[in-house]
Amino acid sequence: MGRVKIDGSEKWVGFVGAGYNAADCSGGSGCDPRGKGFYVVDLSNGNILWSYTRANDSTMNYSLPASPAIVDVDNDGFIDTAYIRRSGRQHVEV
Following DSSP, what letter does each residue of 10-72 receive, concatenated? EEEEEEEE-B--S--STTSS----TT-EEEEEETTT--EEEEEETTT-TT--S-B-SPPEEE-
pLDDT by residue (tens digit) across 31-65? 888 888 899 999 999 999 999 998 888 888 888 88
CA dist 5 and 80 (Å) reads 9
Beta-bridge partner residues of 10? 5
**In degrees rounded to 5, what are phi and psi of residue 88?**
-90, 25
- Across the range 75-86, mean pLDDT stands at 89
- Across the range 14-24, mean pLDDT stands at 87
Model pLDDT, residue 93: 53
Model pLDDT, residue 51: 93
